[in-house]
Structure 1
Amino acid sequence: MTNEIRVLIVDDDFRVSGIHRDLVAARPGFTALPPVRDAASARIAIRDMRPDLLLLDVYLPDGDGIEIGREAGIDRFVLSAADDVATIRRALTSGALHYLVKPFDPRALQDRLDRYARFRNLLSTGSATQETIDRAVSVLHGGAVPAPARAGTQQVILDALAAGEASSVEIAERVGVSRATAQRHLAELAARGAIDVTLQYGSAGRPEHRYRLS
């Protein structure tokens, strides 16, 4: 099982940061760290709490959120009321993965968090094929996900399993294929000995097949 994604929110408005914290905490696979309200606190929190993802406002009482993100070198979204093109371009060219103009529909952040989780799963460990890279970028930005060839599909599934044990449903979501397609390829990989299959019994119903790299 993969570790939860730790998210630090940096916003000087405690009401806004509280709303964003609750949105993050509600997403499966995410942990919302205590929000901070200024650049100095952000630097300390980044050092001590080691977040995986930053949600940064641009204008802070003692600094600039875009520069905080650049210094940290951590994956980040910029959430700001600033809608001028110069600021947006500066944020994106500095490495921000997304830019949301406040106020925004909560579903916009939820959608980007979910796509970010899939992006991380695809590019989690080791090396990646060009096909995996292309799929990860498409997933992150909501574009059409390229349909992989048969051999390519199985390699992408193996890459996804590098992030940890999963069910066929979880693999289908990570890779962007149907459950039936994922099950077919998982069965072939298991028959070749490339992956191991175990049964997980719940409190009721049929046992679930779990897959992991051999």
Structure 2
Amino acid sequence: MAFSKIRVLVVDDSPLMRSVLATMINSFPDMEVVGEAPDAPSAREAIKQLNPDVLTLDVHMPGMDGLEFLERLMRLRPMPVVMVSSYTEGASEVTLKALELGAVDFIGKPRSDAEHTMESYAEELAEKIRTSRWARIRTRSLAPAVHQPAMGRAMPMTGATSVGKTICLGASTGGTEAIKDFLQSMPANCPPILIVQHMPESFTGSFAKRLDGLCLPRVVEAGNGERIEAGTVYIAPGHSHLRIKRTGSGLQTELLRSEPVNRHRPSVDVLFDSAAEVLGRQAVGVILTGMGKDGARGMLRMRQAGARTFGQDEASCVVYGMPREAFLIGAVEEQASLDDIARRVLAASVS
């Protein structure tokens, strides 16, 4: 039975980069590059003529840059976009903005070093293209967002710190925006929240900083041995697994540079496993949009240890992968839409 290849348009101002990406993409039998474009005007015409399934888009381009082009594209012809970004702080901030505008995912520029080979890069690129092809596109209003987490401000939090429940959350594809929405519904004195979002280490600091400016709780990139406190959100750094450990003075973060789990470091399973071991019924587990199975087994162990567990529902996920896997094995106690899941989690964490 014949199958339809994923049709990809590569947009990058560098002829060399276009050639490298096209060669990688064409090496996979289920996808093909149907066109290349060096700038926004050329990309616009290529989209009209070629009708690609997925676009790879450079963050920085001459004339109309990648962000402006993406913003117009998502308004006029929403389609799956994978941003291609360099591993710099400035590029990471622009990439996070691109995800806010509706890009499904991002990947760094190809590089070859001790930890990254061109073969592994090509596999990662192909996986992101496949995932993006079937992702639910989230378009954003062009009007400036008014960040008023009214529900979170209004929720009473009396006794939250004495109850001592800790929220542990995992996400992947589509997670940067889902996490933002989740945290914007949290009050300033919310229970402690530990988060694993699959993301390179050069991006997690910018991600935490961005969230800190948009949300009422304090948001930080987690360090090793930090005291876990109410009103603070700890984002796992991209170079280490994040765990919870108990000391004589209370709960602390623990960072481990051990081998990847489920091909990820940080891994959601590692965080959830530590929550099951250390916190038991004093934890609340949350799994949001993302591709793959990371977090499913760990969430099951959390539920078996007495924790409350929540999964994002299919209708509101960009990619219903991780929540689906957790639901199928009985790890998810309740499914909820992204609009409602924070309210339910908060209620469970203070009950």
Tell me the residue number matched to 1:138: 321
Question: Secondary structure of 1:145's partner?
Answer: helix
Tell me the residue number matched to 2:218: none
Give deviations 1:35-84, integer Å, cap 9, x for gaps. 11111101110111111111111221221113323322210111122632
Tell me the residue number matched to 2:300: none
Matching residue within 101, 114, 117 for 2:130: 117
| C-alpha distance in 2 between matches for 1:138 and 1:108 | 21
Q: 1:109 to 1:144 in 2, by over 3 A?
A: farther
| C-alpha distance in 2 between matches for 1:136 and 1:148 | 15
Unaligned runs of 5+ residues in structure 2 are 137-312, 331-351
TM-score (norm 1): 0.55
Tell me the residue number matched to 1:43: 44
Q: How does 1:40-79 map to 2 (within 5 A)?
A: 40-72=41-73, 73-79=78-84
Unaligned runs of 5+ residues in structure 1 are 124-129, 151-214
| C-alpha distance in 2 between matches for 1:146 and 1:112 | 25
Native 8 Å contact 1:54 1:69 kept in 2: no
Q: 1:48 to 1:19 in 2, by over 3 A?
A: same
Matching residue within 114, 121, 144 for 1:108: 121
Matching residue within 83, 86, 89 for 1:81: 86
- Residues matched between the structures, number: 142
TM-score (norm 2): 0.35
**CA shift for structure 1 position 149:** 5.8
Higher radius of gyration, 1 or 2: 2
Q: What is the Cα-based RMSD across aligned positions, in Å?
A: 3.2
| C-alpha distance in 1 between matches for 2:131 and 2:106 | 18
Structure 1 vs Structure 2: percent identity of aligned residues?
Answer: 24
| C-alpha distance in 1 between matches for 2:12 and 2:39 | 7
Tell me the residue number matched to 1:31: 32
Tell me the residue number matched to 2:102: 95
Native 8 Å contact 2:9 2:33 kept in 1: yes
